[in-house]
A and B are shown apart, each in its own frame.
Chain A
Amino acid sequence: MRRLSSLAWRNLQARLLRSLLTAAGVALGVAVLFASLSASATMDAAVARAAADEMGHSALRVQALEERGLSAATVAVVTRASGVAVAAPALERQTYLAASLTASPSAKLPAPVTVLGIDPVAEPKLHDLPLSGGRLLTAADSSSAVITETLASQEGLRIGDSIALNGSGSGPASLAIVGIVTGDGSVPDAAGRLVIAPLSTAQTLFAVTGVTRVDLGTRPGVSADELMGQLEATIQTEPYLLEKTADTADSLRADTADFRGTLLLVAAVVLFAGAFLIFNTLSMTVTERSRDVGLLRAAGATRTQVMGLVLLQALVLGVAGSIVGVVAGIGLSSLTLSWVNSTGPISLDAPDISLGSVSLALLIGVLVTLAASLEPAWRAGRIPPVEALRRGPRGAVAGAARLRWLVLVFAVLAVAALAVWPSGASGGAGVSLGSGGQTLQFGILGPLAVYGLMLVAVLIVPPILGPLLWLAGIPLRVFRNEERLARSSLARDVSRTTLTAGALVMGLAMVVALGTAAQNIRQIGANWLTETIPGSELLTSIHSISPTDPSIEEIAALSGVKSVSPIGLLGVPLGGLRQEAAAISGADFAADGRLVFVEGGGDSATAFAALDTGGAVIVPRSLANGSNIRLGDTMSFATGETPTTLRVVGIVAHSIPAGSQEAILIGWTDAMGPFGASGADVFAIRFQPGQESTARPAVDATASQYALESADLGSVQGTVGDALDRVFRLLDAMALIAVLVAGLGMVNTLSMSVLERVREIGVLRATGMSSRQVWAMVVMEAGMLGFAGSLIGAAVGLLAGGLLVAWSSGGFGLTFDPPWVSIALAVVFGILISVTASIYPAGVASRQSIVRALQHE
């Protein structure tokens, strides 16, 4: 040995299993961390790519808010703006392929296609349209189309085939396919089913004269902001929205920020559990080697040299574990992304493995390891040289030291997490309800509070551990000696036992918290729909239908149908931004009795009547609180030369979910007047009491004839719930990794416990205890520890889950409904992990030679 530092390496080798298990614990924590960082980066990249695909090379987009689109006059004004070099107008509408509709009229409606009508000359200047075959459209084309590879593959179409599209005009329009673009195309909402046609052809097909948007390229030297200023001064005649590429990306990114934040919280918990493992391992090493350390000190080694030895061991474990963790994290990230599969309309590709994510994960892994090892290193340095003369190992770690260490590691992890916290519109952690994007947010305080609760839980473990162990031993009392010896072994080093249980507490708590949150948030989502939709069945259309359309009147006249309430979802300009709105029939909602008005939020009958009259709006509490809106205030909407002013006639606890917002509610008079709506895209069906089961089939059949998709509210709730479940199952799986890490810690602890009792076990065997009884004693020790840790973890998890639910319930007044079955399963899992962890140490203990054990020093 040329340097004292190589003693650190030898220590690690001497206890190879312990070193490997500890490095594995670090690796698991870093794997989850890297997976969350990589998934986050991948989602970010996907969003940026989608935004770039959507916006292409355009600097600015003028987006219509009204359904009828931007008028030709507005397009002309925009095109003539001095800063504009290229203006590419486009019309976007959904329809069905005529062939798919006629194929089976009574079957479920097929997936729609999106038709994008473009200017064939201007569009390619701002949007790349990479071809996989054929050609692009030209100015001479009128009955040609270009489709995406995805659509071609799904419908078996090739260049030269014809595609017939249902339109609003006189029957289907047939277009010849002249080209196929690669992939899904540049319209995310189309889900790859995109048909690109000349603008005039699309306008004729859908009997409109307006356009959905105009993408603009600027002249050299003109910035997007300058152009925005020019346009805001010139477009006065109708409502519109100006978007830059960054704005598009930001709004797409908003939903994913919440999921990413929650994933990061789980990663922090797993890393914290890993830190426990490090601390315990190094503490055991210091205890085991206290005489060697005393000798080194007696021989003249300084405290710094001794501390350095311990820190060096930690560094080796941390670096090795972090490297393995990053490699494992790549696989975990792939699994995560394939499980999540998409973020709303944007599909996710292979995981983003950037040098930044790798470096960050490695750095945090090593930092946490070093932070976790500081206290044992400090303690080793404090070992006095006289320790060299002691026969036995030193006593347990003091409680104050443990507290200092826990707080330090907690702080390091919290700072690291805050440094990498995903920025997003909400700036917090939460969950999106399905692809619709409704978001329930916990805020940054929520995760911090949960994390802090974990720390407190671990700190209170020592006083309650004893009674819990006694309790856990009750069913095992039939094995008198083994149970008593197991319990006394756990009491031998309270600090070590506490930290071993602590890791299990954290992992279990996280699993239970997520399960509790999932159950209750699912309920919140379901309640949200039940509280706001006046009916038990929904009919949806891909294009607007007038509330007085004969098809709707026909459905309303069916036997068993009480009412058909039209709901039109639209965007309105409020304060320069898009505000989601829902046009509703006040009379229908008044008759239905849904929508809860808040205290001081007006009278429902008066409010609904005012909506139908016009000039009125009902706002959700979230918007009222956020924008300081009160009953009686007026809200102004930029709907053209003359803004539209609506009086606030009601404030409701919750409103109809629309996109990532709660919609403001307006009457049909206003919707179809200044706001330019042409009809409803959702109809809520209320059935006569007791007649739903008989009336529904007729409603469904009639709806299908008119290309209305029917879904009962329960199945919509189910879809939302399934999307939530998918997300929470992933998070639970990650949290289970923390339990696995705790299991690794338990192997280490029990192995050390067996090592310390070699002679004692020899005496027990010599006085008649069988090897099976010795085996049982060790397994019982693990089982009791697992029981205590799991029980505490479940209790803490319930509390944490309650916190998350309270934070996100937004006043639904939900009765806290713990998922008892899941919690019981989690406790059983925790005990099983502990017992499994004991198998190897129990085997070692039971197989010891009695003679050698008695001679052991």
Chain B
Amino acid sequence: MVPNTPPAPSPSVADSSETAPARLARDASILEARDLTKVFRTGDRDVEVLRGISLKVRRGEFVAVMGPSGSGKSTLLQLLGGLDRPTSGEVILDGEVVSRLSDREATRLRREKTGFVFQFFNLIPLLDVYENVALPFTIAGEDPRRGETAARIKDVLEMVGLSGRERSRPDQLSAGEQQRVALARALAGSPALLLADEPTGNLDYATGGEILDQLWRSCDQRGQTIVLVTHDARAAAHADRVLVLGDGKIRDEIQLGRRTDRDARPLITRLAQLGL
């Protein structure tokens, strides 16, 4: 896994002593989408969900994608993560053109370079906490109970605050705990990119906040690159940058910068100006 470097702070607090190479490394994109479109056929009608979206995400950046229901944000996430293919356009992740990969290669890419957190936890009910977190390693044929792998799993479980709950099954966990397991699983492989689709959509206010804080810490302290899809401004406020989708296009881009307070008010004000 390529270590992530922290993102550039918002222009308002840029450090003028930064060296050029450091700035270059900081500015390197890990994810790029070029003119993405996605058309779904429903019955005898074609529905164009995405209409030529282009974006870049730098290493260690936390980007949120917002928009009203039906704006195509989940579809965009699926394309960025290689879960689906665009009708046209390209997705480049860590130098590989995802949209042109065969199923086998895309599978490898997902295994090695991406982690997913879904709205509905998506834990395997037959596996315990440890096994769910270890799933990417087991799929890759590694023994998750030995060596570095075991250490890594232990580390992420500690990070999400679930040490001691390794043997619990999903039905023995609260909703928040289940989502933390999902987060640990996504982070365990130190992916180049973590994609989260409405990770707090099924959680209460306080629990959702905990999850978002953990996401932010993984980005801030470990340099994890994150793309978060949400309709919740409070969640999006954790990001460094917010892309607002509407009618399948990027309507606006809001720079928030890396902030320890993660106050949502500036974002809400801006969204209100956009009429959202």
Query: Could you tell me which A residues sit within 8 Å of B by CB distance?
Result: 1-4, 7, 10-11, 13-14, 291-292, 295-303, 305, 384-386, 388-389, 391, 857
Task: Determine if B131 and A298 form an interchain contact, defined as CB atoms under 8 angstroms apart.
Answer: no
A389 with B197, Cβ < 8 A, contacts A1-B131, A14-B126, A300-B110 known: yes
Across the interface, A295 reaches (CB within 8 A) one of B81, B122, B134, namely: B122
Interface CB pairs A-B, < 8 A, 26: A1-B134, A1-B138, A4-B138, A7-B126, A13-B126, A14-B125, A14-B126, A296-B124, A296-B135, A297-B107, A298-B81, A298-B83, A299-B116, A299-B136, A300-B107, A300-B140, A301-B107, A301-B111, A302-B107, A303-B103, A303-B107, A388-B118, A388-B122, A389-B118, A389-B197, A391-B120
Complex: how many Å from CA A297 to CA B114? 12
Which residues of B, 176-195, contact A by the 8 Å Cβ criterion? 185
Q: What mask results when residues 83 to 120 of chain B are scored 1 for a CB within 8 Å of chain A, else 0?
A: 11000000000000000000110011011100010111
A386 with B139, Cβ < 8 A, contacts A1-B134, A10-B127 known: no
Task: Determine if A298 and B110 form an interchain contact, defined as CB atoms under 8 angstroms apart.
Answer: yes
CB distance from A557 to the nearest CB of B (A): 91
Task: Determine if A292 and B107 form an interchain contact, defined as CB atoms under 8 angstroms apart.
Answer: no
Contact of B270 with A by CB under 8 A: no
Q: Which 4 A-B pairs have the closest CB atoms?
A: A300-B111, A10-B126, A386-B83, A1-B131
Contact of B74 with A by CB under 8 A: yes
Note all chain A residues with C-beta closer than 8 A to B124.
7, 292, 295-296
Note all chain A residues with C-beta closer than 8 A to B74.
389
Complex: how many Å from CA A295 to CA B125? 12
Complex: how many Å from CA A3 to CA B120? 25
Task: Determine if A2 and B126 form an interchain contact, defined as CB atoms under 8 angstroms apart.
Answer: no
A384 with B136, Cβ < 8 A, contacts A14-B126, A300-B110, A303-B103 known: no
Note all chain B residues with C-beta closer than 8 A to A14.
125-126
Contact of B144 with A by CB under 8 A: yes
CB distance from B18 to the nearest CB of A (A): 36
Task: Determine if A7 and B83 form an interchain contact, defined as CB atoms under 8 angstroms apart.
Answer: no
Query: Could you tell me which B residues sit within 8 Å of A by CB distance?
Result: 74, 78, 81-84, 103-104, 107-108, 110-112, 116, 118-120, 122, 124-127, 131, 134-136, 138-140, 143-145, 185, 197
Complex: how many Å from CA A389 to CA B135? 17
* Chain B residue at smallest Cβ distance from A295: B122
Across the interface, B144 reaches (CB within 8 A) one of A2, A295, A389, namely: A2
Task: Determine if B144 and A388 form an interchain contact, defined as CB atoms under 8 angstroms apart.
Answer: no
* Chain A residue at smallest Cβ distance from B198: A389
Complex: how many Å from CA A533 to CA B110? 84
Note all chain A residues with C-beta closer than 8 A to B134.
1
Note all chain A residues with C-beta closer than 8 A to B119.
389
Complex: how many Å from CA A168 to CA B160? 107
Task: Determine if B138 and A291 form an interchain contact, defined as CB atoms under 8 angstroms apart.
Answer: no
Note all chain A residues with C-beta closer than 8 A to B110.
297-300, 385
Across the interface, A299 reaches (CB within 8 A) one of B78, B111, B145, namely: B111
A299 with B135, Cβ < 8 A, contacts A7-B126, A388-B122, A389-B118 known: yes
Complex: how many Å from CA A388 to CA B123? 10
Complex: how many Å from CA A291 to CA B144? 23
Across the interface, B112 reaches (CB within 8 A) one of A291, A300, A388, namely: A300
* Chain B residue at smallest Cβ distance from A301: B139
A386 with B111, Cβ < 8 A, contacts A3-B138, A291-B122, A305-B139 known: no
Note all chain B residues with C-beta closer than 8 A to A857.
120
Complex: how many Å from CA A297 to CA B106? 10
Complex: how many Å from CA A14 to CA B126? 7
A300 with B120, Cβ < 8 A, contacts A305-B139, A389-B74 known: no
CB distance from A253 to the nearest CB of B (A): 53
Note all chain A residues with C-beta closer than 8 A to B81.
298
Task: Determine if B139 and A298 form an interchain contact, defined as CB atoms under 8 angstroms apart.
Answer: no
Complex: how many Å from CA A1 to CA B128? 9
Task: Determine if B135 and A384 form an interchain contact, defined as CB atoms under 8 angstroms apart.
Answer: no
Note all chain B residues with C-beta closer than 8 A to A386.
78, 83-84
Task: Determine if A299 and B139 form an interchain contact, defined as CB atoms under 8 angstroms apart.
Answer: yes
Complex: how many Å from CA A2 to CA B118? 25
CB distance from B71 to the nearest CB of A (A): 16
Note all chain B residues with C-beta closer than 8 A to A302.
104, 107
Between B108, B112, B118, B145, the greatest number of chain A beta carbons within 10 A of the residue's beta carbon is seen for B118
Complex: how many Å from CA A198 to CA B141? 82
* Chain A residue at smallest Cβ distance from B185: A299
A384 with B116, Cβ < 8 A, contacts A4-B138, A292-B124, A389-B78 known: no
* Chain A residue at smallest Cβ distance from B124: A292
Task: Determine if A11 and B140 form an interchain contact, defined as CB atoms under 8 angstroms apart.
Answer: no
CB distance from A600 to the nearest CB of B (A): 68
CB distance from B210 to the nearest CB of A (A): 22
CB distance from B254 to the nearest CB of A (A): 26
Note all chain A residues with C-beta closer than 8 A to B120.
391, 857
Task: Determine if B126 and A300 form an interchain contact, defined as CB atoms under 8 angstroms apart.
Answer: no
Note all chain A residues with C-beta closer than 8 A to B144.
1-2
* Chain B residue at smallest Cβ distance from A857: B120
Task: Determine if B122 and A385 form an interchain contact, defined as CB atoms under 8 angstroms apart.
Answer: no
Across the interface, B145 reaches (CB within 8 A) one of A2, A7, A305, namely: A2
Task: Determine if A7 and B127 form an interchain contact, defined as CB atoms under 8 angstroms apart.
Answer: yes
* Chain B residue at smallest Cβ distance from A382: B103
Task: Determine if B84 and A384 form an interchain contact, defined as CB atoms under 8 angstroms apart.
Answer: yes
Complex: how many Å from CA A299 to CA B126? 16
Note all chain B residues with C-beta closer than 8 A to A2.
138, 143-145
A11 with B126, Cβ < 8 A, contacts A1-B134, A386-B84 known: yes
Complex: how many Å from CA A391 to CA B121? 11
CB distance from B65 to the nearest CB of A (A): 15
Note all chain B residues with C-beta closer than 8 A to A1.
127, 131, 134, 138, 144
Complex: how many Å from CA A2 to CA B143? 6
CB distance from A465 to the nearest CB of B (A): 26
Complex: how many Å from CA A677 to CA B110? 91
Additional 13 contacts, C-beta under 8 A, given A300-B140, A385-B83: A1-B138, A4-B138, A7-B126, A13-B126, A292-B124, A295-B122, A297-B110, A298-B83, A299-B110, A384-B83, A385-B110, A386-B78, A391-B120
Note all chain A residues with C-beta closer than 8 A to B122.
291-292, 295, 388
Note all chain B residues with C-beta closer than 8 A to A391.
120
Note all chain B residues with C-beta closer than 8 A to A305.
139
Complex: how many Å from CA A125 to CA B131? 76
Note all chain A residues with C-beta closer than 8 A to B126.
7, 10-11, 13-14
Complex: how many Å from CA A741 to CA B4? 59
A300 with B136, Cβ < 8 A, contacts A2-B145, A386-B78 known: yes
Complex: how many Å from CA A615 to CA B136? 92
Note all chain A residues with C-beta closer than 8 A to B131.
1
Note all chain B residues with C-beta closer than 8 A to A296.
124, 135, 139
Note all chain B residues with C-beta closer than 8 A to A3.
138
CB distance from B187 to the nearest CB of A (A): 13
CB distance from A19 to the nearest CB of B (A): 13
Note all chain B residues with C-beta closer than 8 A to A291.
122
Note all chain A residues with C-beta closer than 8 A to B84.
384-386
Complex: how many Å from CA A605 to CA B135? 91
Complex: how many Å from CA A391 to CA B197? 13
Complex: how many Å from CA A388 to CA B186? 14
CB distance from B81 to the nearest CB of A (A): 8
Complex: how many Å from CA A2 to CA B197? 29
Task: Determine if A300 and B103 form an interchain contact, defined as CB atoms under 8 angstroms apart.
Answer: no
* Chain B residue at smallest Cβ distance from A390: B120
Complex: how many Å from CA A301 to CA B116? 14
Complex: how many Å from CA A301 to CA B144? 16
Note all chain B residues with C-beta closer than 8 A to A301.
107, 111, 139
* Chain A residue at smallest Cβ distance from B78: A386
Note all chain B residues with C-beta closer than 8 A to A384.
83-84
Complex: how many Å from CA A607 to CA B112? 93
Complex: how many Å from CA A300 to CA B138? 10
CB distance from B245 to the nearest CB of A (A): 17
Complex: how many Å from CA A80 to CA B104? 83
Complex: how many Å from CA A853 to CA B145? 38
CB distance from B75 to the nearest CB of A (A): 9
* Chain B residue at smallest Cβ distance from A4: B138
